[in-house]
Amino acid sequence: MSQQNRLSTGGRVDRSRKVRFTFEGKSYEGFAGDTLASALLANNVHLVGRSFKYHRPRGVLTAGSEEPNAIVQLGTGARTEPNTRAPMIELYDGLNANPQNCWPSVNSDIGEINNKLSRFFPAGFYYKTFMWPKSMWMKYEEVIRHSAGMGVAPTEEDPDSYATKHVHCDVLVAGGGPAGLAAALAAGRSGARVIIADEHGEFGGSLLGDADATIDGKPAMEWVASAVEELKAMEEVTVLPRTTVTAYYDHNFLTALERVTDHLGPQDNTDIPRQRFWQIRAKEVVIAQGSVERPMLFGDNDRPGVMLASAVRTYINRFGVLPGREVVVFTNNDSAYRTAIDAVAAGATVHVVDTRKGPKGALVEKARSLGVDVHDNCGVIGTCGKKKVTGVDVMELNEAGDGVVGSSFHLSADIVAMSSGWTPMVSLYSQARGKLRYDEELSTFLPDHCQWANHNVGACNGDFTLEGALSQGFEAGAKSAKNCGFGDGAAPATPKAPQEAEEPLRVLWYIPSDKPLGRKRKHFHEFQNDSTVADIHIAAREGFISVEHLKRYTTTGMGTDQGKTSNVNAIGIMSGIRQIAPNAVGTTTFRPPYTPLTFGAATGHGVKELFLQKRKSPMHPAHEAHGAVYEDVGDWKRPRYFPKDGEDMHAAVQRECKQVRETVGMLDATTLGKIDIQGPDAAKFLNMIYTNAWLKLGVGKARYGLMCNEHGMVFDDGVTTRLGENHFHMTTTTGGAGRVANWLEEWLQTEWPEMEVYCTSVTEQWAVMGLNGPMSRDLLSELCDDIDLSGESFKFMEMREGHVAGVPARVYRISFTGELAFEINVPARYGLHVWNALIEAGKKYDLVLYGTESMHVLRAEKGFIIAGQDTDGSVTPMDLDMSWIVGKNKEDFLGRRSFARSDTSREGRKQMVGILTEDPNVVLPEGAHVVKELKDKPPMEMLGHISSSYMSPNCGRSIAMGLIKDGFKLKGQSFYVPLIDGATHKVTITDPIFFDKEGVRSRG
């Protein structure tokens, strides 16, 4: 019978719109407004998956994003998505879902043998089992990798589009239940900019599953509808359904995932994004995430049909689905009696098993008046059935609740609705580094204090009453708005929302059985990863008592649900074992995202050509016109060489290098990182960042500097020029620009916040042309008549401002080739004009355009390093024979203290040297090893490696640089370089400067 568990009336689904879907290849029907979980339950499908480790049958446990069991593979082909939670998948026509972690089917899973062998797979078994023999390690890894993971990732290109949105707001409200709506209303009415987001398709939170709740004498959902309508009408309010606030970072920066079209199914029109990733900076945050119900921990509590009591109630009232006709409600508190009452009203036979002795609350008495049998001071010790629960065994509890007495009795049941109390959702609050406190009365953790401007309201703040949620929401919304400069902070009057008073719960972290713990029946506390109460006891016995060790040893909270239903129970069990309070056990670290996030949404538009953008300098059209061959440097397209007809790269580079030293060459150096540094402490800051001295550098003077990391290893290099008393222009390597900018900001923001220094990336503000060669001064003088370019007036390592080709320019006398050179910086919009003017004027000087390959050869001829190529993170300035650049009289700089380590000054460190092959025509491959002695086969003692290697037309032979152990002492000695093709070359260690050793040319 189709939808045999669907009630004839009730619920919020649209019964006039049937929706067809398939699950594991079988067709079913649901209604518009269903979730996959509610539709499956309506069709009496309870077995929806298998557990991760033991492959036990599992069914729907919850009705929300905390679902640990009903995790399915959604869709097929390029749009398939693993690990989707059935209660959060809105039903659409043609939906196709399949169970995960089972083969060949969910009903007959060969992996179920793991359950038979479960005694061999306790907590931590993998740490002990796969240690020996060593020869099997790789085989173990193969088996483990094959077994690990859940679901199947798509192998085809994602056909959907995603969007990213950056916004600011005064008040962000996370959660659209009664507390969140009240907060948004109070803040919105004040005129503040408000964003309210809720993960469900409808606002209302817990009220969606509560048919009895009233506000001011009317059904609560009428108030919700009115509130949402009012919010949507407010110009400064953004209402975001189907949007999960996923992360809370420092300074009230939060992210949220909006599921734009997921509820409609696959879309052919990719102009509309499937999902939108919001990045929000809020002045104030109101957290109204609500709470989730904790499961009872009893024998075999994981069978399909065992559900949270609140979930059963939600399926009845929100979806018009009664999951079963014989319901056993197992509880330690009053709230589950609401489920018993609603299940009776829906036509079910209901029994309540209550761990408390003589419960007498209003809800209890109401349930009894409806004919519900209440078995007090009892506990469910086990369930019956295999792929679906068929009944439960019950026994009376002893006085302490840690044992059972008397004889067991059996209750028939096709649904077990369990409740062990409520866990406020403090995930976002904890991500913001908010501190928690343990509440003994509620047996859970509550928000305590946080450094950021936020407010917790409603159930996530420990108030589980509707009127309390509304009151806290209005108060927090009004206060937040006032803190942002809106309104007077007075909260609106709280509507009346009467609710039955509840008696205290009885805290039993797990239910005892008639069998020793771990024998025959398993008490699951972490459903997704198959962690049991017995596993926690094993962890304690083996010394894993720290909450973080407990998490990793038992895999508690390490699933896609992040332990939303399991963590507090696990902490409570460990507290009992250790005989300490739960707050002394502590909590694990809450990490974003709150719920799983698709890679597509996190990436947004940054895919394909936008993932690694092709950055081009302003002179790129001219490079195209001159036939440039490019290489990718970072994300820049840099000309590698400019071949003439018939030339390969070698011929072009040899020609370019020769011509630069004979006439003049021009290089596009726009891609160099450029950082504008200003502030009263700018010189002091540079003095700490660089190894050499900067305090006395004159205005208009430039200086080469080395940066070291805190370990004393070379990090980056470049030339920095003083433009004014408190103004510097720093250049970095092309590939290191972003890294250096982040490095500067990290130290300013975290270590030296008292320094008044401001760093701004200006890489793309300036177009840079490097003129190199003996005729560079003559060429530049053709286009620059307001700067005296003579050597007497404009010295090496100085800067002048003037005009080049009629354009305002900064001209620097710096050289990376060892030639007379000028670097011309002009505003980027004039770059192409100045470049073309220089080409035209340079014709009579036989100007040559050269690229990065020639640049490498020319700098290597002079022994100049490239950070990241000739350094590898393990090289100090002294290893580069650059002790001269380390300030001897400076009190401190980054890396200085590390130079005092014994390892930094030990013998045997690799040092930068020149390397010449015996055969001058042999160009050694970079990365080749230099060995002390040749042997017939490895191993051979390696002295070091080749870091740079080229054929130099100006030296008339090959040249190379390398890092060699004690290289400074080995100059003049010969060694060998064996290559992978079997060839061996004899080499001699030399000084790394191969051309113009005195440096006369650059200072000419």
853-900 confidence digits (pLDDT tens): 999 999 999 999 999 999 999 999 999 999 999 998 898 999 999 999
Q: State the maximum Cα–Cα separation within the chain, in Å, rounded to a whole number.
A: 110
Q: What is the chain's mean pLDDT, rounded? A: 94
Question: Under DSSP, is residue 122 helix (H, G, I), strand (E, B) or coil?
Answer: coil
Structural Rg of the chain based on CA atoms: 36
626-639 confidence digits (pLDDT tens): 999 999 998 899 99
Residue 612 is predicted with a pLDDT of: 77
Dist. CA 344–CA 283, nearest whole Å: 47
292-350 confidence digits (pLDDT tens): 999 999 999 999 999 999 999 999 999 999 999 999 999 999 999 999 999 999 999 99
Query: Which of 530, 907, 486, 862 is CA-nearest to residue 704?
Result: 862
Q: List Cβ neighbours of 926 (8 Å cut-off, separation of 6 or more).
A: 946, 947, 948, 949
**8 A C-beta contact, residue 996 and residue 815:** no
Dist. CA 60–CA 325, nearest whole Å: 16
Does 939 sit behind a cis peptide bond, omega within 30 degrees of 0 on the bond before it? yes
Dist. CA 560–CA 150, nearest whole Å: 10
> Which residue has 């096709």 as its token pair?
414
Q: How far is CA 810 from the centre of its chain?
A: 42
3: pLDDT strictly greater than 60: yes
DSSP 964: E
Mean pLDDT (whole number) for 526-533: 92
Mean pLDDT (whole number) for 406-425: 97
Residue 136 is predicted with a pLDDT of: 75
Question: Residue 914 phi/psi, 5° resolution?
Answer: -90, 155
Mean pLDDT (whole number) for 71-88: 95
Residue 130 is predicted with a pLDDT of: 66
Residue 131 is predicted with a pLDDT of: 67
DSSP letter for each residue of 305-351: TEEEHHHHHHHHHTT-B---SEEEEEESSSTHHHHHHHHHHTT-EEE
Strand partners, 302: none
**8 A C-beta contact, residue 40 and residue 59:** no
The listed range with the strongest mean pLDDT (270-279, 602-611, 932-941) is 270-279
959-983 confidence digits (pLDDT tens): 999 999 999 999 999 999 999 888 9
Residue 430 is predicted with a pLDDT of: 95
Helix, strand and coil content of the chain, in percent to the nearest 5, comes to 25, 30, 45
The two structure tokens encoding residue 98: 């399949």
Q: List Cβ neighbours of 390 (8 Å cut-off, separation of 6 or more).
A: 384, 412, 413, 414
**8 A C-beta contact, residue 287 and residue 428:** yes
Residue 991 is predicted with a pLDDT of: 97
Residue 972 is predicted with a pLDDT of: 97
Residue spans of alpha helices (H) in 579-711 = 582-585, 599-603, 620-625, 649-662, 682-689
**8 A C-beta contact, residue 989 and residue 913:** yes
**8 A C-beta contact, residue 50 and residue 68:** no
pLDDT classification of 414: cutoffs 50, 70, 90:
very high
Residue 391 is predicted with a pLDDT of: 97
What b/e sequence results for 851-878 when a residue is b if at least 16 CB atoms lie within 10 Å of its CB, and e otherwise?
bbbbbbbbbbbbbbbbbbebbeeebbbb
Residue 927 is predicted with a pLDDT of: 95
Query: Which of 668, 663, 689 is CA-nearest to residue 677?
Result: 689
Dist. CA 423–CA 815, nearest whole Å: 66
Mean pLDDT (whole number) for 401-429: 96
Residue 119 is predicted with a pLDDT of: 72
pLDDT classification of 569: cutoffs 50, 70, 90:
very high
Residue 937 is predicted with a pLDDT of: 82
pLDDT classification of 109: cutoffs 50, 70, 90:
confident
670-693 confidence digits (pLDDT tens): 999 999 999 999 999 999 999 999
**8 A C-beta contact, residue 180 and residue 288:** yes
DSSP 502: -
780: pLDDT strictly greater than 70: yes
> Do the strands 243-249 and 253-259 form a parallel or antiparallel pair, or are they unpaired?
antiparallel
pLDDT classification of 117: cutoffs 50, 70, 90:
low
1: pLDDT strictly greater than 60: no
Question: Under DSSP, is residue 167 helix (H, G, I), strand (E, B) or coil?
Answer: strand
| Exposure of 918 in the CB half-sphere (CA atoms within 13 A) | 9
Residue 118 is predicted with a pLDDT of: 65
Mean pLDDT (whole number) for 174-192: 98
Dist. CA 491–CA 183, nearest whole Å: 9
612-623 confidence digits (pLDDT tens): 788 999 999 999
**8 A C-beta contact, residue 786 and residue 780:** no
Mean pLDDT (whole number) for 484-498: 95
Residue 135 is predicted with a pLDDT of: 76
Residue 116 is predicted with a pLDDT of: 73
Query: Which of 380, 374, 407 is CA-nearest to residue 394?
Result: 380
138: pLDDT strictly greater than 80: no
pLDDT classification of 918: cutoffs 50, 70, 90:
very high
Angle value at C-alpha 53, between 141 and 540, nearest 5 degrees: 95
Q: List Cβ neighbours of 641 (8 Å cut-off, separation of 6 or more).
A: 628, 629, 649, 652, 653, 656, 850, 851, 852, 853, 854
Question: What pTM value is reported for the model?
Answer: 0.81
Size (the chain), residues: 1004
The two structure tokens encoding residue 728: 């510097």
Dist. CA 749–CA 754, nearest whole Å: 9
Residue 519 is predicted with a pLDDT of: 82
The dihedral formed by the CA atoms of 824, 827, 829 and 830, expressed in degrees to the nearest 10:
-40
686-728 confidence digits (pLDDT tens): 999 999 999 999 999 999 999 999 999 999 999 999 999 999 9
Residue 763 is predicted with a pLDDT of: 96
